[in-house]
Amino acid sequence: MLIWIIFAIMTGAAIFALLWPLSHGRAGAFADAADAKSLYRAQIGEIERDIARKLIGPAEAEAARAEAARRLLRAAGDEGSPAGETESSLRRRRASSALALSCVPLLALLVYGAYGSPDNPDQPLSARLQDDPSKQDFALSFARIEAHLAAAPTDAKGWAIVAPIYLREGRYDDAARAFAAAVRYGQPDTETLAGLGEARIMAAGGVVTEEARASLAEAVKLDPKNARARYFLALAKEQDGDGKGAITALRDLLADAAPDARWAQGVRRRLEQMEADAGRNAIAALAPADQQAAIRAMVDSLAERLKADGGTLAEWTRLIRSQTVLGDKAAARETVAMARERLSQDGPALTALDVLAGELALKETAP
């Protein structure tokens, strides 16, 4: 009902804006025509006096008399029509007013009927929040949960539902508060505690804070195999300068990972980065004479590992480039062949290896 009242007010305002200029005829110069005639007669008398005093010439006096006479005749003709409006102009103005009064609402109704949805019932938010959740979209369902939590802030289950969503949406402060509420009002479990630690880390810009460490340690205490908590605790070791301990922790985590664990690839990349950084730091600390031997030992160690366990395209590529830089092109060609054999089911990887072999001039030339 309120929407129709608003529509009626808007229509009335539009009609008023159209009728206002039409409701005023041409404004006369004087409210009373008699005053105008008196003024013009006085002007003619003044012209006669100016001629008698020889202030103006005959030609100027004749022009002034003609102008005053025209104004006097116009005022005398307007006396029978108020404000100078003729009967025909009054009829046109009334017809325009009637046309505007009828056409504006009719046009509005036609446009609404063509483009609007007059048959749809009202859909207030409060009513939609009470509908069956299975028939609601995600945003509405999420708003329903948030409204419920505002009314029942001690519902640990509700906080446990919204906390991961906040975390995925990048609302890290909200996620940390939601995880903390789930822990405070419910029975803490390892996943909730690990989520609380991650949210606190992300809210701190990637720094593993003391509060985050406490949550992660509690999660590992409840479940020593909690992968998320172990990963962030390994990052905490790296943050503290214990690079060797962080590498060991990530290696142990990967050793316990299931073959199809989706998070393993990300952990493996982080481990490779840590190992590369540790290797560079260790080599940089050596004397110049020992640096070349240390680099070759690292390359040989990587070659042995890939030969025994296989690896990713990135690992094979790193080994091939390292062997080429060391001037051992024969070993690099053998590595290319081995990589092609191990990655034979990966078409894009084989293409990348061919490109790499051509770039490093490792392709066998025909005799």
Distance between CA atoms of 145 and 166, rounded to whole angstroms? 13
pLDDT for 185 equals 93
First to last CA, the chain: 91
Q: What DSSP character marks residue 227?
A: H
pLDDT for 165 equals 92
Q: Where are the domains of the chain?
A: 38-77, 289-367
Residue with the two structure tokens 């809210």: 203
pTM (global) more than 0.85: no
Query: Which residues are CB-neighbours of 282 under 8 A, at least 6 positions away?
Result: 294
Distance between CA atoms of 86 and 104, rounded to whole angstroms? 27
Distance between CA atoms of 356 and 53, rounded to whole angstroms? 114
- Nearest to 234, CA basis, from 210, 219, 257, 253: 253
Distance between CA atoms of 217 and 136, rounded to whole angstroms? 39
Write out the DSSP string of 15-68: HHHHHHHHTS-PPPS-S-HHHHHHHHHHHHHHHHHHHHTTSS-HHHHHHHHHHH
For 250-256, the CB contacts below 8 A with 24+ separation are: 250/274, 253/227, 256/225, 256/227
Q: Do residues 207 and 171 make contact, with C-beta atoms less than 8 angstroms apart?
A: no
> Can you tell me whether residue 365 is helix, strand or coil?
coil
Task: Determine how many CB atoms are found less than 10 A away from the CB of residue 327.
Answer: 9
Q: What DSSP character marks residue 123?
A: -
Q: pLDDT by residue for the chain (367 residues), tens digit each?
A: 566 678 778 777 777 776 676 665 554 444 455 565 676 677 777 877 877 877 777 778 788 777 777 776 666 655 544 444 556 666 776 777 777 667 767 777 788 777 776 666 665 555 554 555 554 566 777 888 888 888 888 999 999 999 999 999 999 999 999 999 999 999 889 999 999 999 999 999 989 999 999 999 999 999 999 999 999 999 999 888 888 899 999 999 999 988 888 888 889 888 888 887 777 776 676 777 677 777 788 888 888 988 888 888 888 998 898 888 888 888 999 999 999 999 988 888 899 888 988 888 887 654 4
Task: Determine how many CB atoms are found less than 10 A away from the CB of residue 282.
Answer: 13
pLDDT for 366 equals 43
Sign of CA pseudo-dihedral 226, 231, 236, 238: positive
Residue type, 58: P
User: Rounded to the nearest 5°, which phi and psi values hold at 209?
Assistant: -80, 170
99: tokens are 């046309």
169: tokens are 């949406």
Between CA 22 and CA 28, with CA 26 as vertex, the angle to 5 degrees is 150
